[in-house]
């Protein structure tokens, strides 16, 4: 990929280049997280409580949210907020159900008497990390919890920082979480991975978080499954001369306000559009209430790149492999078919990332840091296992047994050879060369 980029770099011109590297520009948190995980694993709830005081300034005696409190925070929701939250839940559920319908069990007879297949098995216990963050992101629990319930997981638990907005707890409950805990950060990941007196161990952990949460997920992987390692949010837009510069600037800043490390950019075949996007971003920052965050992200990680033709534009977008990729071209569906590396694709100028972020139905938990080159985002399939099985009758043994005997002998695995031969008749064995 490095050599590919070297060739690609000669074909691009950057009106604005990032001044920092979003992929490597993170202070090392590895040892801190390692200590947190070890302490939680050894001391359980006591360690979790100490970290909550140290990091969240919250001394929580009982981590689990009671049923009474769940009902109270839901009742306290502004009626319109509740209606909008349930609208998002229904849309995400509808899409997840449709996706699950495409994941089918399988049974085939590959050879006479050799029966192969797989089952679709829900993961038993899933832990959903719900970030607190700078804003009360009411859509966050919807995206991780709803697909788990659709998949049929036996138990879905949610962990969120103790100082999270009450509406976030309401969102967890409405989305279907079986249990909700006021625990955030790396200590929440450690607790879900190994279990404490109050918090059950899970089989898989999903959901985005800060650098400490991300590092904790990396370190506990293997003990539990994880969805992915997700960094700060990203948006890229591919555009030609037909695109609307003001709209592009608005969409870039909509993501830039997430975090000062958000990576935002546009790649275009039109130099004039690139210049206008730059002007529009600077203009819109003047009266954007979240400019203190968005302007830093734009200054450090914003990018405007001009390329000579559509092929180079496609190649550059695939190299970036952005979390969110919008297509603003004359024929966006045609352009979209040529793209392959992204977390989620937004085809045409009417398909704003914000709609997916909030309520349209596709999941907003997506790969970042170029992981879109090898994986997609969180989906209902993330909560099930495809586990194979087989069964053979005598005809099946006759079909595969001799080859298994010979191959085992060739590999000098005598135990394997005996197990393969045991099921063959004397006549069948005599025929094995």
Superfamily of domain 2-22+232-361: Nitrogenase molybdenum iron protein domain (3.40.50.1980)
Taking the whole predicted model, whether its pTM rises above 0.95 is answered as: no
Long-range contacts of 274-277 (CB under 8 A, 24+ apart): 274/15, 274/304, 274/305, 274/306, 275/15, 276/245, 277/245, 277/248, 277/249, 277/252, 277/304
pLDDT, tens only, 62-108: 999 999 999 999 999 999 999 999 999 999 999 999 999 999 999 99
Is 324 a known active-site residue? yes
**pLDDT of the residue at 299:** 96
Active site residue 323: yes
Q: CATH topology of 2-22+232-361 equal to that of 30-230+381-385?
A: yes
pLDDT higher than threshold 80 for residue 21: no
What is each CA distance from 57 to 65, 132, 135, 164, 186, in whole angstroms? 18, 14, 18, 12, 15
Residue located via tokens 């001369």? 241
Q: What is the pLDDT of residues 370-404, one digit of tens each?
A: 999 999 999 999 999 999 999 999 999 999 999 99
Alpha-carbon separation of residue 61 from 50, 135, 236, 336 (angstroms): 11, 25, 44, 51
**Residues 104-161: tens digit of each pLDDT:** 999 999 999 999 999 999 999 999 999 986 667 889 999 999 999 999 999 999 999 9
- Going by their DSSP bridges, the two strands 106-111 and 114-122 should be labelled as antiparallel
Which position among 234, 257, 323, 349 bears the catalytic label?
Answer: 323
| 303-310: average pLDDT | 96
Confirm if 144 and 128 have CB atoms less than 8 A apart.
Answer: yes
| Domain residue limits, the chain | 2-22+232-361, 30-230+381-385, 393-430
pLDDT, tens only, 232-288: 899 999 999 999 999 999 999 999 999 999 999 999 999 999 999 999 999 999 999
The fold adopted by the segment(s) 30-230+381-385 is Rossmann fold (3.40.50)
Options 324, 328, 349, 364, the catalytic residue: 324
């Amino acid at each position: 990929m490095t050599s590919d980029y070297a060739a690609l770099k000669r074909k691009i011109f950057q009106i604005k280049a990032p001044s920092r590297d979003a992929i490597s520009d993170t202070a090392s948190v590895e040892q801190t997280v390692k200590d947190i995980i070890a302490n939680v694993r050894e001391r359980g709830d006591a360690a979790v409580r100490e970290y909550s005081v140290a990091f969240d300034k919250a001394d929580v005696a009982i981590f689990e949210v009671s049923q009474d409190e769940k009902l109270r925070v839901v009742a306290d929701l502004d009626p319109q907020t509740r209606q909008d939250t349930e609208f998002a839940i229904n849309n995400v559920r509808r899409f997840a159900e449709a996706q699950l319908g495409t994941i089918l069990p399988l049974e085939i007879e590959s050879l006479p008497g050799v029966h192969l297949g797989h089952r679709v098995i829900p993961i038993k216990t899933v832990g959903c990390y719900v970030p607190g963050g700078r804003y009360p992101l009411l859509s966050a629990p919807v995206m991780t919890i709803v697909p788990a319930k659709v998949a049929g997981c036996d138990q879905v638990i949610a962990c969120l920082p103790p100082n999270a907005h009450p509406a976030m707890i309401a969102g967890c409950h409405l989305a279907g979480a079986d249990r909700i805990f006021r625990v955030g950060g790396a200590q929440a990941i450690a607790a879900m991975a190994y279990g404490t007196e109050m918090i059950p161990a899970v089989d898989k952990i999903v959901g985005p978080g800060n650098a400490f949460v991300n590092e904790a997920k990396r370190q506990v992987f293997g003990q539990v499954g994880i969805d992915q390692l997700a960094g700060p949010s990203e948006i890229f837009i591919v555009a030609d001369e037909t695109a609307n510069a003001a709209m592009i600037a608005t969409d870039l800043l909509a993501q830039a306000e997430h975090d000062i490390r958000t990576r935002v950019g546009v790649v275009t075949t039109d130099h004039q559009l690139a210049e206008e996007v730059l002007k529009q971003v600077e203009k819109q920052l003047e009266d954007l209430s979240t400019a203190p965050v968005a302007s830093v992200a734009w200054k450090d990680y914003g990018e405007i790149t001009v390329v000579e033709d559509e092929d180079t534009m496609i190649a550059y977008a695939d190299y970036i492999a952005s979390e969110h990729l919008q297509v603003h071209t004359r024929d966006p569906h045609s352009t979209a078919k040529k793209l392959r590396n992204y977390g989620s694709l937004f085809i045409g100028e009417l398909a704003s990332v914000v709609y997916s972020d909030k309520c349209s139905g596709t999941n907003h938990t997506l790969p970042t840091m170029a992981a879109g080159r090898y994986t997609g985002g969180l989906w209902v399939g993330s909560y099930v296992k495809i586990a194979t099985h087989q069964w053979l009758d005598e005809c099946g043994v006759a079909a595969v047994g001799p080859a298994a005997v010979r191959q085992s002998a060739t590999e000098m695995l005598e135990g394997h050879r005996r197990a393969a031969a045991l099921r063959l008749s004397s006549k069948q064995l005599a025929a094995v060369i």
